[in-house]
Structure 1
Amino acid sequence: MIVKLDDSIVKIEPSFKIGIIHYTKIVVTSSPQMLKGRLQLFQEQLFFELDDKAVTDFDGIKEWRALWKKFGADPNRYRPSMEAMYRRIAKQNYITPMHSAVDLNNFFSMQYEIPMGIYDVEKILGEITLTIGKEETKYSGLNGRDNKLHNILTLQDNLGPFGSPFVDSVRTAVSENTTNALQVVFLRPSISKEDGQQLINSMATMFTQIHGGDFDTTLIG
Protein backbone atom coordinates (compact mmCIF):
# COMPACT_ATOMS: atom_id res chain seq x y z
CA MET A 1 0.00 0.00 0.00
CA ILE A 2 1.11 3.56 -0.71
CA VAL A 3 1.30 5.76 2.39
CA LYS A 4 2.55 9.35 2.21
CA LEU A 5 3.36 12.06 4.74
CA ASP A 6 2.03 15.53 4.00
CA ASP A 7 4.89 18.04 3.74
CA SER A 8 3.30 20.27 6.39
CA ILE A 9 4.02 17.64 9.08
CA VAL A 10 7.75 17.49 8.43
CA LYS A 11 7.97 21.28 8.26
CA ILE A 12 6.59 21.47 11.81
CA GLU A 13 8.53 18.44 13.13
CA PRO A 14 11.53 17.46 10.93
CA SER A 15 12.15 14.30 13.03
CA PHE A 16 8.60 13.00 12.55
CA LYS A 17 8.35 9.35 11.48
CA ILE A 18 5.83 6.54 11.34
CA GLY A 19 6.11 2.79 10.94
CA ILE A 20 3.81 1.01 8.48
CA ILE A 21 3.15 -2.73 8.76
CA HIS A 22 1.04 -4.44 6.10
CA TYR A 23 -0.28 -7.88 7.10
CA THR A 24 -1.76 -10.37 4.65
CA LYS A 25 -3.48 -13.75 5.14
CA ILE A 26 -3.94 -13.20 8.89
CA VAL A 27 -6.57 -14.89 11.08
CA VAL A 28 -8.15 -12.64 13.73
CA THR A 29 -9.90 -14.45 16.60
CA SER A 30 -10.77 -13.92 20.24
CA SER A 31 -7.48 -13.34 22.05
CA PRO A 32 -5.51 -16.36 23.23
CA GLN A 33 -5.20 -16.68 27.00
CA MET A 34 -1.50 -15.76 26.83
CA LEU A 35 -2.32 -12.36 25.31
CA LYS A 36 -5.23 -11.71 27.68
CA GLY A 37 -2.96 -12.56 30.61
CA ARG A 38 -0.17 -10.24 29.44
CA LEU A 39 -2.63 -7.40 28.83
CA GLN A 40 -4.17 -7.79 32.28
CA LEU A 41 -0.81 -8.12 34.07
CA PHE A 42 0.61 -5.06 32.31
CA GLN A 43 -2.39 -2.97 33.35
CA GLU A 44 -2.25 -4.16 36.96
CA GLN A 45 1.47 -3.32 37.20
CA LEU A 46 0.87 0.06 35.55
CA PHE A 47 -1.95 0.84 38.02
CA PHE A 48 0.48 0.48 40.95
CA GLU A 49 3.15 2.49 39.11
CA LEU A 50 0.61 5.28 38.59
CA ASP A 51 0.24 5.52 42.35
CA ASP A 52 3.65 7.25 42.48
CA LYS A 53 3.93 8.68 39.00
CA ALA A 54 1.72 11.06 37.01
CA VAL A 55 0.53 9.97 33.56
CA THR A 56 2.28 12.99 32.04
CA ASP A 57 5.63 11.91 33.56
CA PHE A 58 5.97 8.95 31.18
CA ASP A 59 8.51 9.80 28.46
CA GLY A 60 6.41 8.67 25.49
CA ILE A 61 3.31 10.49 26.69
CA LYS A 62 5.33 13.62 27.45
CA GLU A 63 6.84 13.58 23.96
CA TRP A 64 3.52 13.03 22.21
CA ARG A 65 1.78 15.76 24.22
CA ALA A 66 4.50 18.19 23.12
CA LEU A 67 4.04 17.07 19.51
CA TRP A 68 0.26 17.54 19.82
CA LYS A 69 0.83 21.18 20.83
CA LYS A 70 3.24 21.75 17.92
CA PHE A 71 0.48 20.78 15.49
CA GLY A 72 -1.94 23.13 17.22
CA ALA A 73 -4.16 20.70 19.16
CA ASP A 74 -4.90 20.79 22.90
CA PRO A 75 -3.64 17.56 24.58
CA ASN A 76 -5.82 18.26 27.63
CA ARG A 77 -8.95 18.14 25.49
CA TYR A 78 -8.01 15.62 22.77
CA ARG A 79 -5.52 13.16 24.23
CA PRO A 80 -3.21 10.82 22.31
CA SER A 81 -4.81 7.35 22.41
CA MET A 82 -2.25 5.69 24.72
CA GLU A 83 -2.55 8.56 27.22
CA ALA A 84 -6.33 8.00 27.29
CA MET A 85 -5.68 4.32 28.08
CA TYR A 86 -3.19 5.20 30.84
CA ARG A 87 -5.76 7.54 32.42
CA ARG A 88 -8.37 4.76 32.36
CA ILE A 89 -5.95 2.39 34.06
CA ALA A 90 -5.15 5.01 36.74
CA LYS A 91 -8.86 4.79 37.66
CA GLN A 92 -8.64 0.96 37.58
CA ASN A 93 -10.96 1.03 34.57
CA TYR A 94 -8.98 -1.61 32.71
CA ILE A 95 -9.10 -2.14 28.94
CA THR A 96 -11.22 -5.25 28.32
CA PRO A 97 -10.29 -7.78 25.61
CA MET A 98 -11.97 -7.28 22.21
CA HIS A 99 -10.21 -9.57 19.73
CA SER A 100 -6.63 -10.60 19.05
CA ALA A 101 -5.70 -7.77 16.61
CA VAL A 102 -7.04 -4.87 18.70
CA ASP A 103 -5.80 -6.39 21.98
CA LEU A 104 -2.25 -6.79 20.69
CA ASN A 105 -2.35 -3.32 19.15
CA ASN A 106 -3.40 -1.88 22.52
CA PHE A 107 -0.71 -3.87 24.31
CA PHE A 108 2.03 -2.52 22.01
CA SER A 109 0.66 1.03 22.35
CA MET A 110 0.71 0.90 26.16
CA GLN A 111 4.05 -0.90 26.39
CA TYR A 112 5.92 1.54 24.11
CA GLU A 113 3.93 4.66 25.12
CA ILE A 114 3.00 5.57 21.54
CA PRO A 115 -0.28 5.88 19.62
CA MET A 116 -1.04 3.05 17.18
CA GLY A 117 -3.83 2.15 14.80
CA ILE A 118 -4.84 -1.00 12.96
CA TYR A 119 -7.13 -0.91 9.92
CA ASP A 120 -8.89 -3.32 7.56
CA VAL A 121 -7.22 -2.81 4.16
CA GLU A 122 -10.34 -3.97 2.30
CA LYS A 123 -12.17 -0.92 3.71
CA ILE A 124 -9.50 1.55 2.51
CA LEU A 125 -9.76 3.06 -0.97
CA GLY A 126 -6.71 4.32 -2.86
CA GLU A 127 -3.56 5.95 -1.52
CA ILE A 128 -3.22 6.94 2.13
CA THR A 129 -1.94 10.33 3.26
CA LEU A 130 -1.13 11.34 6.81
CA THR A 131 -1.99 15.00 7.14
CA ILE A 132 -3.08 17.59 9.71
CA GLY A 133 -6.85 17.72 10.13
CA LYS A 134 -8.73 20.84 9.03
CA GLU A 135 -11.70 22.47 10.71
CA GLU A 136 -14.13 20.32 8.71
CA THR A 137 -12.22 17.03 9.23
CA LYS A 138 -14.32 14.57 11.24
CA TYR A 139 -15.56 10.98 11.39
CA SER A 140 -17.59 8.56 13.44
CA GLY A 141 -15.12 7.03 15.89
CA LEU A 142 -14.74 3.81 17.83
CA ASN A 143 -15.47 5.86 20.98
CA GLY A 144 -19.10 6.09 19.82
CA ARG A 145 -18.90 9.80 18.98
CA ASP A 146 -18.51 12.06 15.96
CA ASN A 147 -14.92 13.27 16.36
CA LYS A 148 -13.58 16.57 15.07
CA LEU A 149 -9.92 16.32 14.08
CA HIS A 150 -8.92 19.96 13.62
CA ASN A 151 -5.11 20.23 14.02
CA ILE A 152 -4.89 16.50 14.81
CA LEU A 153 -2.85 14.12 12.63
CA THR A 154 -5.26 12.24 10.39
CA LEU A 155 -4.97 9.32 7.97
CA GLN A 156 -7.01 9.89 4.82
CA ASP A 157 -7.84 7.82 1.75
CA ASN A 158 -9.97 8.59 -1.33
CA LEU A 159 -13.13 8.38 0.80
CA GLY A 160 -11.86 10.79 3.47
CA PRO A 161 -10.38 10.56 6.97
CA PHE A 162 -10.32 7.17 8.72
CA GLY A 163 -7.68 7.10 11.45
CA SER A 164 -5.56 9.17 13.82
CA PRO A 165 -3.37 8.91 16.93
CA PHE A 166 -6.44 10.24 18.81
CA VAL A 167 -9.19 7.72 17.98
CA ASP A 168 -9.89 5.53 14.94
CA SER A 169 -13.00 5.45 12.76
CA VAL A 170 -15.76 2.87 12.60
CA ARG A 171 -15.37 2.68 8.80
CA THR A 172 -11.98 0.93 8.71
CA ALA A 173 -12.18 -1.02 11.97
CA VAL A 174 -10.59 -4.48 12.06
CA SER A 175 -12.90 -7.39 12.89
CA GLU A 176 -12.62 -11.17 13.11
CA ASN A 177 -13.37 -11.20 9.35
CA THR A 178 -10.23 -9.17 8.55
CA THR A 179 -7.49 -11.02 6.65
CA ASN A 180 -5.58 -8.01 5.28
CA ALA A 181 -4.62 -5.28 7.77
CA LEU A 182 -2.53 -2.13 7.99
CA GLN A 183 -0.90 -1.19 11.29
CA VAL A 184 0.33 2.39 11.70
CA VAL A 185 2.91 2.96 14.44
CA PHE A 186 3.16 6.63 15.43
CA LEU A 187 6.78 6.55 16.58
CA ARG A 188 8.35 9.05 18.97
CA PRO A 189 10.26 11.68 16.96
CA SER A 190 13.26 11.09 19.26
CA ILE A 191 13.70 7.45 18.15
CA SER A 192 16.38 6.81 15.54
CA LYS A 193 15.39 5.36 12.16
CA GLU A 194 17.39 2.23 12.95
CA ASP A 195 15.67 1.68 16.31
CA GLY A 196 12.28 2.54 14.81
CA GLN A 197 12.73 -0.06 12.06
CA GLN A 198 13.82 -2.64 14.62
CA LEU A 199 10.75 -1.89 16.74
CA ILE A 200 8.22 -2.30 13.94
CA ASN A 201 9.90 -5.52 12.76
CA SER A 202 9.68 -6.88 16.30
CA MET A 203 5.98 -5.92 16.55
CA ALA A 204 5.19 -7.50 13.18
CA THR A 205 6.97 -10.74 14.13
CA MET A 206 4.96 -11.05 17.34
CA PHE A 207 1.73 -10.16 15.55
CA THR A 208 2.19 -12.92 12.95
CA GLN A 209 3.15 -15.42 15.66
CA ILE A 210 -0.41 -14.99 16.95
CA HIS A 211 -2.28 -14.34 13.68
CA GLY A 212 -0.23 -16.22 11.07
CA GLY A 213 0.12 -14.63 7.65
CA ASP A 214 2.90 -12.48 6.19
CA PHE A 215 4.04 -8.90 6.68
CA ASP A 216 5.95 -6.05 5.05
CA THR A 217 7.32 -3.12 7.04
CA THR A 218 8.25 0.41 6.00
CA LEU A 219 9.52 3.36 7.99
CA ILE A 220 8.46 6.74 6.63
CA GLY A 221 10.05 10.02 7.69
Structure 2
Amino acid sequence: MELRIAAELTELIPGFKVGYIQYQDICVGESPQMLKGRLQLFQESIYFELEDKKVTDLPGILEWRQVFKKTGKDPNRYRHSAEALYRRVQKQNYLTSVHSAIDLNNFFSLQFQSPIGIYDRDQLAGSILIRLGQANEEYLGLNGRMNSLDRLIVSCDHESAFGSPFVDSERTAVTEATKNAIQIIYLKPSLEKDQSEKLTASLANMFTQIHGGIASWEIIE
Protein backbone atom coordinates (compact mmCIF):
# COMPACT_ATOMS: atom_id res chain seq x y z
CA MET A 1 0.00 0.00 0.00
CA GLU A 2 1.64 3.21 -1.19
CA LEU A 3 1.94 6.26 1.07
CA ARG A 4 2.95 9.76 0.02
CA ILE A 5 3.06 13.22 1.59
CA ALA A 6 1.39 16.21 -0.07
CA ALA A 7 3.74 18.96 -1.24
CA GLU A 8 1.80 21.52 0.83
CA LEU A 9 3.04 19.82 4.00
CA THR A 10 6.71 19.48 3.05
CA GLU A 11 6.73 23.11 1.92
CA LEU A 12 5.08 24.32 5.12
CA ILE A 13 7.14 22.10 7.45
CA PRO A 14 10.74 21.59 6.28
CA GLY A 15 11.97 18.13 7.24
CA PHE A 16 8.47 16.66 7.57
CA LYS A 17 8.68 12.87 7.31
CA VAL A 18 7.08 9.73 8.64
CA GLY A 19 8.18 6.20 9.39
CA TYR A 20 5.81 3.90 7.51
CA ILE A 21 5.51 0.25 8.56
CA GLN A 22 3.31 -2.42 6.96
CA TYR A 23 2.50 -5.64 8.82
CA GLN A 24 1.11 -8.90 7.44
CA ASP A 25 -0.29 -11.95 9.24
CA ILE A 26 -0.05 -10.55 12.77
CA CYS A 27 -1.81 -11.84 15.89
CA VAL A 28 -3.11 -9.12 18.24
CA GLY A 29 -4.13 -10.14 21.75
CA GLU A 30 -3.45 -9.55 25.42
CA SER A 31 -0.10 -7.90 25.98
CA PRO A 32 2.68 -10.11 27.31
CA GLN A 33 3.74 -9.36 30.88
CA MET A 34 7.07 -8.02 29.58
CA LEU A 35 5.30 -5.25 27.65
CA LYS A 36 2.88 -4.44 30.47
CA GLY A 37 5.79 -4.20 32.91
CA ARG A 38 7.91 -2.00 30.64
CA LEU A 39 5.00 0.33 29.95
CA GLN A 40 4.24 0.69 33.67
CA LEU A 41 7.88 1.27 34.67
CA PHE A 42 8.40 3.79 31.89
CA GLN A 43 5.33 5.75 32.93
CA GLU A 44 6.56 5.84 36.52
CA SER A 45 9.96 7.15 35.40
CA ILE A 46 8.26 9.84 33.29
CA TYR A 47 6.11 10.86 36.25
CA PHE A 48 9.19 11.44 38.43
CA GLU A 49 10.99 13.25 35.59
CA LEU A 50 8.05 15.65 35.27
CA GLU A 51 8.00 16.53 38.97
CA ASP A 52 10.40 19.42 38.32
CA LYS A 53 9.63 20.29 34.72
CA LYS A 54 6.75 20.93 32.35
CA VAL A 55 5.56 18.55 29.66
CA THR A 56 6.28 21.31 27.13
CA ASP A 57 9.95 21.37 28.24
CA LEU A 58 10.45 17.99 26.54
CA PRO A 59 12.03 18.50 23.09
CA GLY A 60 9.85 16.08 21.14
CA ILE A 61 6.63 17.40 22.69
CA LEU A 62 7.66 21.00 22.02
CA GLU A 63 8.66 20.32 18.42
CA TRP A 64 5.32 18.77 17.58
CA ARG A 65 3.50 21.70 19.22
CA GLN A 66 5.45 23.96 16.87
CA VAL A 67 4.37 21.82 13.91
CA PHE A 68 0.73 22.30 14.89
CA LYS A 69 1.29 26.06 15.10
CA LYS A 70 2.70 26.07 11.57
CA THR A 71 -0.42 24.35 10.23
CA GLY A 72 -2.63 26.92 11.96
CA LYS A 73 -3.82 24.84 14.93
CA ASP A 74 -3.55 26.12 18.50
CA PRO A 75 -1.47 23.46 20.33
CA ASN A 76 -3.10 24.41 23.63
CA ARG A 77 -6.49 23.46 22.21
CA TYR A 78 -5.36 20.69 19.86
CA ARG A 79 -2.76 18.68 21.72
CA HIS A 80 -0.97 16.08 19.66
CA SER A 81 -1.45 12.52 20.87
CA ALA A 82 2.03 12.12 22.40
CA GLU A 83 1.52 15.25 24.52
CA ALA A 84 -1.89 13.96 25.61
CA LEU A 85 -0.25 10.72 26.80
CA TYR A 86 2.42 12.62 28.72
CA ARG A 87 -0.17 14.82 30.41
CA ARG A 88 -2.04 11.72 31.55
CA VAL A 89 1.13 10.29 33.04
CA GLN A 90 1.93 13.61 34.73
CA LYS A 91 -1.40 13.33 36.57
CA GLN A 92 -0.60 9.71 37.47
CA ASN A 93 -3.54 8.70 35.29
CA TYR A 94 -1.43 5.87 33.93
CA LEU A 95 -2.30 4.10 30.72
CA THR A 96 -3.85 0.72 31.34
CA SER A 97 -3.47 -2.23 29.01
CA VAL A 98 -5.84 -2.33 26.02
CA HIS A 99 -4.29 -4.98 23.79
CA SER A 100 -0.81 -5.72 22.51
CA ALA A 101 -0.88 -3.42 19.45
CA ILE A 102 -2.20 -0.35 21.29
CA ASP A 103 0.07 -0.93 24.30
CA LEU A 104 3.16 -1.12 22.09
CA ASN A 105 2.03 1.94 20.13
CA ASN A 106 1.68 3.90 23.38
CA PHE A 107 5.04 2.69 24.70
CA PHE A 108 6.93 3.87 21.62
CA SER A 109 4.96 7.12 21.41
CA LEU A 110 6.10 7.92 24.95
CA GLN A 111 9.65 6.84 24.15
CA PHE A 112 9.91 8.84 20.90
CA GLN A 113 7.88 11.82 22.26
CA SER A 114 6.05 11.69 18.93
CA PRO A 115 2.55 10.78 17.74
CA ILE A 116 2.18 7.28 16.27
CA GLY A 117 -0.89 5.86 14.57
CA ILE A 118 -1.71 2.20 13.92
CA TYR A 119 -4.51 1.17 11.58
CA ASP A 120 -6.24 -1.97 10.35
CA ARG A 121 -5.01 -2.28 6.78
CA ASP A 122 -8.02 -4.34 5.68
CA GLN A 123 -10.28 -1.36 6.45
CA LEU A 124 -8.32 0.88 4.06
CA ALA A 125 -8.93 1.37 0.36
CA GLY A 126 -6.28 2.36 -2.18
CA SER A 127 -3.17 4.43 -1.56
CA ILE A 128 -2.61 6.80 1.39
CA LEU A 129 -2.00 10.54 1.26
CA ILE A 130 -0.88 12.67 4.22
CA ARG A 131 -2.12 16.24 3.77
CA LEU A 132 -3.86 19.11 5.56
CA GLY A 133 -7.49 18.62 6.48
CA GLN A 134 -10.14 20.73 4.80
CA ALA A 135 -12.76 22.95 6.43
CA ASN A 136 -15.67 20.58 5.82
CA GLU A 137 -13.90 17.36 6.90
CA GLU A 138 -14.62 15.46 10.10
CA TYR A 139 -14.69 11.94 11.47
CA LEU A 140 -15.72 10.02 14.55
CA GLY A 141 -12.54 9.69 16.57
CA LEU A 142 -11.27 7.24 19.14
CA ASN A 143 -12.09 9.95 21.70
CA GLY A 144 -15.77 9.22 21.04
CA ARG A 145 -16.46 12.60 19.41
CA MET A 146 -16.88 14.00 15.93
CA ASN A 147 -13.63 15.85 15.24
CA SER A 148 -13.18 18.71 12.79
CA LEU A 149 -10.11 18.08 10.64
CA ASP A 150 -9.72 21.64 9.39
CA ARG A 151 -5.96 22.43 9.14
CA LEU A 152 -4.99 19.26 10.99
CA ILE A 153 -2.45 16.89 9.47
CA VAL A 154 -4.49 13.93 8.26
CA SER A 155 -3.93 10.56 6.59
CA CYS A 156 -6.49 9.69 3.91
CA ASP A 157 -7.28 6.67 1.77
CA HIS A 158 -9.56 6.69 -1.29
CA GLU A 159 -12.62 6.81 0.97
CA SER A 160 -11.86 9.54 3.50
CA ALA A 161 -9.48 10.76 6.19
CA PHE A 162 -8.81 8.13 8.85
CA GLY A 163 -5.86 9.26 10.97
CA SER A 164 -4.13 12.28 12.47
CA PRO A 165 -1.40 13.02 15.03
CA PHE A 166 -4.25 14.62 17.01
CA VAL A 167 -6.70 11.69 17.20
CA ASP A 168 -7.41 8.71 14.92
CA SER A 169 -10.76 7.59 13.54
CA GLU A 170 -12.83 4.66 14.73
CA ARG A 171 -13.18 3.38 11.15
CA THR A 172 -9.67 1.93 10.96
CA ALA A 173 -9.05 1.06 14.62
CA VAL A 174 -6.92 -2.02 15.28
CA THR A 175 -8.66 -4.76 17.27
CA GLU A 176 -7.83 -8.31 18.30
CA ALA A 177 -9.38 -9.39 14.98
CA THR A 178 -6.81 -7.40 12.96
CA LYS A 179 -4.49 -9.51 10.83
CA ASN A 180 -2.85 -6.83 8.68
CA ALA A 181 -1.95 -3.33 9.81
CA ILE A 182 -0.03 -0.20 8.95
CA GLN A 183 1.77 2.10 11.38
CA ILE A 184 2.66 5.75 10.82
CA ILE A 185 5.33 7.34 13.03
CA TYR A 186 5.16 11.13 12.88
CA LEU A 187 8.88 11.68 13.27
CA LYS A 188 10.30 14.94 14.56
CA PRO A 189 11.16 17.09 11.52
CA SER A 190 14.57 17.84 13.06
CA LEU A 191 15.47 14.14 13.30
CA GLU A 192 18.24 13.01 10.96
CA LYS A 193 17.51 10.30 8.38
CA ASP A 194 19.71 7.66 10.04
CA GLN A 195 18.05 8.19 13.43
CA SER A 196 14.64 8.06 11.79
CA GLU A 197 15.57 4.70 10.26
CA LYS A 198 16.83 3.31 13.57
CA LEU A 199 13.68 4.31 15.45
CA THR A 200 11.38 2.93 12.78
CA ALA A 201 13.29 -0.36 12.56
CA SER A 202 13.29 -0.78 16.35
CA LEU A 203 9.51 -0.40 16.50
CA ALA A 204 8.94 -2.81 13.59
CA ASN A 205 11.25 -5.40 15.14
CA MET A 206 9.62 -5.34 18.57
CA PHE A 207 6.14 -5.40 17.02
CA THR A 208 6.85 -8.60 15.09
CA GLN A 209 8.56 -10.18 18.11
CA ILE A 210 5.27 -9.82 19.98
CA HIS A 211 2.75 -10.25 17.16
CA GLY A 212 4.53 -12.48 14.68
CA GLY A 213 3.97 -11.82 11.01
CA ILE A 214 6.11 -9.89 8.55
CA ALA A 215 7.04 -6.20 8.64
CA SER A 216 8.35 -3.93 5.91
CA TRP A 217 9.20 -0.31 6.56
CA GLU A 218 10.50 2.88 4.94
CA ILE A 219 10.96 6.56 5.65
CA ILE A 220 8.66 8.76 3.56
CA GLU A 221 9.66 12.40 3.05
TM-score range, shorter chain: over 0.9
3-state SS of paired residue (2:208): helix
* Deviations, residues 84-134 of structure 1 (Å, cap 9, x unaligned): 011111111111110000100000000110000000000001111000111
Q: Distance in 2 between matches of 1:57 and 1:149?
A: 27
The answer to which of 109-118 and 195-204 deviates more is 195-204
What does 1:66-215 correspond to in 2, within 5 Å?
Answer: 66-215=66-215
TM-score by length of 1: 0.98
TM-score by length of 2: 0.98
* Deviations, residues 2-37 of structure 1 (Å, cap 9, x unaligned): 111011001101211101000101110111111011
Shift of 1:147: 0.8
Report the count of equivalent residues. Answer: 221
What is the root-mean-square deviation in Å for CA atoms of aligned residues?
A: 0.7
Identity %: 53
Q: Distance in 1 between matches of 2:34 and 2:14?
A: 39
In structure 2, runs of 5+ residues without a counterpart are: none
Query: In the alignment, which residue of structure 2 is the partner of 1:46?
Result: 46
Shift of 1:150: 1.2
Shift of 1:44: 1.1
Query: In the alignment, which residue of structure 1 is the partner of 2:36?
Result: 36
Letter in 2 for 1:145: R
In structure 1, runs of 5+ residues without a counterpart are: none
Q: Distance in 1 between matches of 2:138 and 2:41?
A: 35
3-state SS of paired residue (1:216): strand
* Deviations, residues 131-151 of structure 1 (Å, cap 9, x unaligned): 011111211011111111111
Q: Distance in 1 between matches of 2:110 and 2:99?
A: 16
* Deviations, residues 51-96 of structure 1 (Å, cap 9, x unaligned): 1110000000010001110111110001010100111111111111
Shift of 1:49: 1.1
